[in-house]
Every structure is written in C-alpha cells, then in structure tokens.
Amino acid sequence: MITLPDIEAARRVIGDFDRQAAAGILRTPLVSSDFLDAMTGMRLGFKAECLQKTGSFKVPGVIHALVRGMAADARGVLGVSSGNQGLAIAYVAGLLRKPALIVLPQGASSAKVAAIRSQGAEITELHYTSYEDAMRTATNLARDRGYFFPDLFSDLHFVAGHGTIGLQILEDCPDVDAIIVPGGSGALAAGVATACKAARPSLRIFAVAAGDDPCLLTAFRERRPTVLSRLPATICDGLRSPVVAAPVLDQLLAYLDDVVTVSEPEVIHAMRLAWSHTRLITEPSGAVTLAALLSGRLPIARGSRVVCVLSGGNVDLAQALQYLAG
C-alpha cells in the first residue's frame, strides 16, 4: 500500500526529473463552465489532463515508474498499451535516451498509433487471446532485447505518480466536495483517491468505467482482483483494461467510494457538452466523468463543488466529429 507521504515523495521525484530533462510537465488547470454549472446545479471544475504533455494524464506516472524501477543498464523500454500509456512511455523513454517498443492490441486508435510513432517508438501490433498471453509475449520480447518492461497494471510507483494529480486538485480547489475519475485499470483512481482521502477523509471520490463488462466494476464490487478473457468493447479505448491487479485494488478498496458505469450515448452527449462549453477536446475516455455526473447515478447533492478529471484528448478527430454530429 502507498500513502500520502509516498505521493508527496513522487511529486518531488517527478519535479526533479522535469527540471533536469526539460520534460515540459504541466500543472494542468481547472476549467469552469457557467453553462454546465447552471445545467447541473453544481459548481464544476474540469481538471484538464487532456492538455498534459502527450495529451493525457499518463506522463508523470510513467516518469515515476521508470525513474524508480528501471536499471541504468536497461537497453530500452517496452510497454503494453492501447494508446495513451504507450505514447507516454515512448515520450519518457526518449527523454531518458532509450529506445521504446510499444506492443498494441489490434484495433488501437489510429490517432494514438500515429502519435506513438511520432515519438520515434517502434510499434508491434499483436493479436493475443488473453491478458496472460499479452504479458507473456511482452515479457519474452523485453528479455530478448534487454529492455525494461514495467508492469503498470500493478506498479505502485505508477499509482503514486498519478496521485500527484489529486494533490493539485486539493491545492487548486480546497473546498471540493467530490472528485470523479475515469477508471480502466484503476491506477489513476487509486492514486487520486489515496492522495485526496488521506488529506480529506470526508471527500467523496468516484471512478467511472465503460463498456459492456468493465473489469473495474467487477473487481470493486466483488472485492477481488479480476482478469477478463477479452478486452471490453467500448468507444472509450483508454478504459479497455482487461485487468485490475491486487495492489491497485487494495488502494481502491481503502479509499474509493464507488464505481459506476456509463453508456456510449451518455459519453457522446458529454463529449458534445465538454467540447462546446469548456472548449476542451476530450476523448471519450475522459468524457465519462461528466457523463456519470449527468446520469444521476452519483450521490452528489446540488450545490456541491465537483471536479471532473478529463483524462485525455488523444481522439481521432474524424471519428469524434461523427460522434458530435450525430
């Protein structure tokens, strides 16, 4: 288990790396919308992680995981990702002057694949039948090349790096009543919940999953680590995690209030509202937080101060325009 001091230490590590490597890490803003405040009867802030380096929240967590976990003699870095995580690994590997190999599932977002290639990473798209198969393949590739392969599904250094987002929310919005976080593997929600609940136990924190059979919902409700036999089918490609690992689940069970799910029409409606009234380009995986708030499934009272984390903005614009026009 990690604690608030671990997350504060992670912020120092990330800050030192940012200064030394000129990584360009942003303190992302909280963006408001009078229209959405009036629509919901709440005071909303949108944590704009879609503006972070590489277009998602991932980079600080990846920095912390690689700085704390990778041996100096590693020849490169290997990542398994459907997009944003691979892009962050490729970016940070470049700062460390290491080559990156990113293993993608078939059907990954074309926009994210192009962005990963733009960072100079090698891409291998594999058809694998299970999470275990993917991890076995990746482990073998990493061993053969002498690359470091961080298991970011269970790496608590990664979780602690994400927790720094929670510290920023508390500093920028000290009167916040509830925070809503997207949930795939649960690593982001675990970090934010650990940081914020440790400092403010009365704060309510919710994670939002998507898809027909979201792994996070099953793991949290049944209180057991969960591995799916297939990737969930959803337009929220950043939330298609097939696993919630024990170290992450332990943090969630200790600090998270609940997990809810949203439908694709609800996500698309939330994307339209976010794009129109915050002027932030959020991908479907980030829009789930506003979708959950609008759905009425969260026990948040009118008049509450609420922060929705918009976790990324790496969206295929042609596809997004179809969603927004429909």
pLDDT at 160: 98
CB < 8 Å & 24+ apart, contacts of 130-138: 130/227, 130/229, 130/230, 130/242, 131/227, 131/228, 131/242, 131/243, 132/227, 134/80, 134/103, 134/105, 135/80, 137/103, 138/78, 138/80, 138/103
pLDDT at 319: 81
Given a cut of 50, the residues of the chain with pLDDT beneath it are none
pLDDT at 233: 81
pLDDT at 322: 82
Q: pTM of this prediction?
A: 0.95
Domains in the chain (CATH in brackets) are: 4-57+159-325 (3.40.50.1100), 59-148 (3.40.50.1100)
Is residue 58 annotated as part of the catalytic site, yes or no? yes
* Cα–Cα distance measured from residue 276 to residue 107, given in angstroms and rounded to the nearest whole number: 28
**Average pLDDT over the chain, rounded to an integer:** 94
Q: What are the pLDDT digits (tens) for 25-58? A: 999 999 999 999 999 999 999 999 999 999 999 9
Q: Which of 82, 185, 241, 285 is catalytic?
A: 82
* Cα–Cα distance measured from residue 236 to residue 84, given in angstroms and rounded to the nearest whole number: 12
Tell me the backbone φ, ψ of residue 64, rounded to 5 degrees. Answer: -65, -40
Q: Is 30 helix (H, G, I), strand (E, B) or coil?
A: strand
Distance of CA 229 to the CA centre of its chain: 22
Is residue 47 annotated as part of the catalytic site, yes or no? no
Q: Among all chains, which residue has been given the structure tokens 């929310």?
A: 169
Q: Among all chains, which residue has been given the structure tokens 């720094």?
A: 164
Residues 6+ apart with CB under 8 A from 168: 27, 28, 47
Q: What is the DSSP string of 143-160?
A: HHHTEE---TTT-HHHHH
Q: What are the pLDDT digits (tens) for 82-112? A: 689 999 999 999 999 999 999 987 767 777 7
Q: Which of 47, 58, 112, 197 is catalytic?
A: 58
